[in-house]
Amino acid sequence: MMIRNFVLMLSAMTASAEPNHTALVQPLYTPLTLGSIKPQGWLKDQLQLGANGLGGNMFEFYRFVHNSRWIGGEDEYSGLAEASPYWFNGVVPLAFGLDDDRLKDQVKYYLDYVLDHQQSDGWLGFETTPQERGLWGRCLLLLGLIQYAEADPTQTERIVDAMHRYVRIAHSMLQNNFTGLIQHPGDTFDASGFGAGRTHELHIPLQWLYEKYPRNQSQLLWDTMDLMIAGGIKAEADWRTFWVPDAYPKVLEGDDWDMSWVFIHGLGLRYPLAVYRNTHEEKLKSQTRTALDLLSKYHTSLAGAIIADEYITDLSPTKGSELCIAAEMMFSLNWIYQYLGDNDVADWAELVAFNALPAAISPDWWAHQYVQQENQPFSRPLDPDVWTINGPRANIFGLEPEYPCCLVNHPQAYPKFLANQFVRTADGLAQIYLTPGTVSTTLKNNNHVSISVDTQYPFAFNWTYTITSSHAFPFSIRIPSWASSASRIQINQDEATRLAPSAQGLHTVSIPASSNSVPTTLTLTLDTTPRVVSLPNNTAAIYYGPLLFALAVSNSPTKSPPLDYTNITTELPDSTTSPGHTFDITLHPTSPWNVAIDPSQIEIVAKSVDRLQNPIWDLGAPPIELRVAAVEIDWPLKYGTADEPPVNVSTKGDPFSARFVPYASAKLHMAHLPVVELEKVDLKGRSGRV
C-alpha cells in the first residue's frame, strides 16, 4: 500500500506541475527507416569486418549468445539476462545496414524463438517466477524489436503483437510493488540494482509503440512509462537529481553503487529527454544540455568516451575507458542530437566513432579491450590497483578480457551510427555524420530522393555528392565546428562559394528536380589545421579534423588462447571460442613511448590514395599523419603502466621528428603529453621515428 500511495502521490505531483499531454514531443530531426542508408567506402569495410568478426559470429560459438537461455540454452553471465538481447540490439542494424543474408538469418532465428516462446501471460524470456523476472533485459530486446519491425515489414505485426502482450504484464508487475524493477527478498534478477538506474530505457520502444501502433492501449503504455520512472525514484535512481552542477560528482567519492557507475552514466544521458517527451517540461531539455556539459568538463576522455574503469574518477590519462561506454555514448549522442540540434553533440558523436570506439577493437574485429587508456604504452596484465575495481587483464585485447558486456554490446555502435547518418528535416534531408554512404528515401509529395556520398573522411576533407530527386528539396550538410571559414562548396559546374552554415551548423542547398535523370553534383571541401589543446600541468593533445592524434608506438604482439573472465588461469573451451580467430593478445612496445612534445612544430603528412586500406584502424593504414617535434624524457611506471605525465620534465638525448598517427590506428599510443620548448627540428627531412 505504501508503494501504491507513493505512485499516486507522484502522479498527482506531475499532474499539478504540468498539464496532461497525450502527444509526445517530436524531434527536430527524424531518423529514416532502418535499411534506407547503406554504407560505402571505409565505413562499409568496418561494418563488414564486424560482420566477419566477433559481432557477426558470436551467434555461432559464444556461450552467452549461442547457448543463451533466451533461445533454449543454459548460459547467462548474470541474472540480468542481458547478453543475447545486447547482441540482438546490435546485430539487427548490422544485418539490415549491410543487407547481409547470413546475419539476417541469425536475427530471424532469434526473433522466431523468442516470439514463439512468449509465455501465456505475455512475458518475453525464459524466466518463469517473479524472483527471476527482471525488466531490464527486456528493454534491450524491445530496442532490437522496433528496429526489426521497421526494417522488415513482414514481421511488424507479430512484433507489435508481442510487444503489446509484454507491456500488459510489465504494467501489472510494476503496479505490484515494482516487481521486476526493485529488488525484494528472494529476488535473483538484479542483485546490484542496475535496472533501477535504467528505467528510462523502456521509454524509447514504448514511445515508438505509442506513436505508431497504439491499438487503443495508449493509456496503458503511458502509465507503464510513468511507473518505470516512479520505480526509479523509489530506488533513489532519479537522473534529474544527478545531472545538477552541485550534485554531480567531479571525482569518485566512494565505491558503493550509485549513478557514478560508468556504464549507466552513458545511458543516463538519455533520461531527461526520454521523460521530456512525455511531460513537455522544457527544463528537462535544458537539463540534457547541462548533463552533456558536466560530463564533457569532468569525465570525458580526449577520444570522446567517459574516463572510468567502472566508476568515474577524474581526467587522468592512465585510467581506463570502457568499450561499452563508447558504444552507448554513440547511441545517446545520436538520439540527443535529433532533439537538441546542437552541432557540438554531433561533433562529439563523430569524435567517439573515429577515436574511442575503434581504438579498443583489433583491426580485424576479432578481439576487443574492456578498457582503453589515453596513454597506453602497454596492453598487458597490469597491477589491478591502476583501476578502481577492474581485473589485471582489462586492457589486453581478447575475447573476454573482463566482464563480457563490452563483447556483446559493441556491435551496436557503427550500425546505429550509420542508421543516423542522414535525417529527415521539416522539409528535406540532412547529412549529420559525414562518412561515405548512400540514402534512398521518399520525402513529402512523393519526392523520391537518392544521395550518394563519396569521401575518405575523416582521413581527408573532400566530398562529392550525387543527388537525384523527383522534385526540388532542401538538402543540408552539417559543417563541423572545427571547419574554418575558408571551406567551400560547389554546385555542379558553378563557381565554388563560401559556406553559410546556420547557428546549428547546417549549410543548406536547394536541390532542383532531376531533369531527364541528370543528377545534381555537390563538391564540398572543408578547411582546417591541426589543433593543439592545452591541458593541465603543461600538457597537451593534438587534433586534426575529428581525429585525435597520438604518438605511434610500434608493438610486438603475443597471442594466446582466450581465458575465462571468471577464472583468469583457465582457458575457455573450444566450444565457446572460434579457434584460429579468437585469441588473447598482449602488445609490448618496440619503440620509445616516453616523450614530451613541442606542439609549436607540427607538419602534416598526407598521401593521396584512390582507396583506403582495409582494415583502416591499423598502424600505418590511414593516409594522414603528423610529424611533431619531440624529445625522450624520464617517465616512470606505476602499476605496470605509464605514470601521470611528468610535471618536472627531464629530457634524454636530442630532439627528433616524432610520428603521430590517428589515435585509433595505434593500439599502443600516447595522446596526453608534456609540453617542452625545443630547438628547431627538421620535420620534413626525416620520416619520423616510431
Which tens digits make up the pLDDT trace of 437-479? 999 999 999 999 999 999 999 999 999 999 999 999 999 999 9
Cis peptide before 249 (omega within 30 of 0): no
Residue 368's nearest CA partner among 138, 645, 90 is 90
∠ CA 357-363-369, rounded to 5°: 50
Say if residues 451 and 436 touch (Cβ distance below 8 Å).
no
**What is the percent of the chain where pLDDT is above 70?**
94
- The 10s digit of each residue's pLDDT in 82-130 is 999 999 999 999 999 999 999 999 999 999 999 999 999 999 999 999 9
- The 10s digit of each residue's pLDDT in 575-617 is 999 999 999 999 999 999 999 999 999 999 999 999 999 999 9
Look at strands 429-431 and 37-39 and give their pairing.
unpaired
**What is the percent of the chain where pLDDT is above 90?**
88
> How much is the mean pLDDT over the chain?
94
**422-455+462-525 under CATH 2.60.40, yes or no:** yes
- The 10s digit of each residue's pLDDT in 534-585 is 999 999 999 999 999 999 999 999 999 999 999 999 999 999 999 999 999 9
CA neighbours closer than 13 Å in the CB half-sphere of residue 572: 24
Say if residues 347 and 292 touch (Cβ distance below 8 Å).
no
Residue 514 vs residues 359, 430, 453, 519: alpha-carbon distances, Å: 42, 18, 17, 6
CA pair distance 6, 4, nearest whole angstrom:
5
Give me the DSSP letters along 207-274: HHHHHH--TT-HHHHHHHHHHHHHHHHHTT--GGGTSSTTTS-SS---SSSSTTBHHHHHHHTTHHHH
Residue 21 pLDDT: 53
Q: Give the list of residues 6+ apart from residue 433 with CB closer than 8 angstroms, or none.
A: 346, 349, 350, 353, 417, 420, 421, 478
Say if residues 641 and 377 touch (Cβ distance below 8 Å).
yes
CA pair distance 292, 336, nearest whole angstrom:
10
Residue 647 pLDDT: 96
Residue 13 pLDDT: 39
Residue 592 vs residues 223, 369, 380, 588, 652: alpha-carbon distances, Å: 60, 22, 17, 11, 11
Residues in the chain: 690
Give me the DSSP letters along 433-482: S-SSEEEEEEEGGGEEEEEEEEE-TTSS-EEEEEEEESS-EEEEEE--TT
Residue 75 pLDDT: 98
| Statement: the pTM of the whole predicted model exceeds 0.85 | yes
Cβ count near 490 (within 10 Å): 15
Task: Give the residue extent of every domain in the chain.
Answer: 68-236, 422-455+462-525, 531-674
Q: Give the list of residues 6+ apart from residue 571 with CB closer than 8 angstroms, or none.
A: 561, 562, 563, 564
Which residues does the chain have with pLDDT short of 70?
A: 1-21, 253-265, 685-690
Cβ count near 495 (within 10 Å): 7
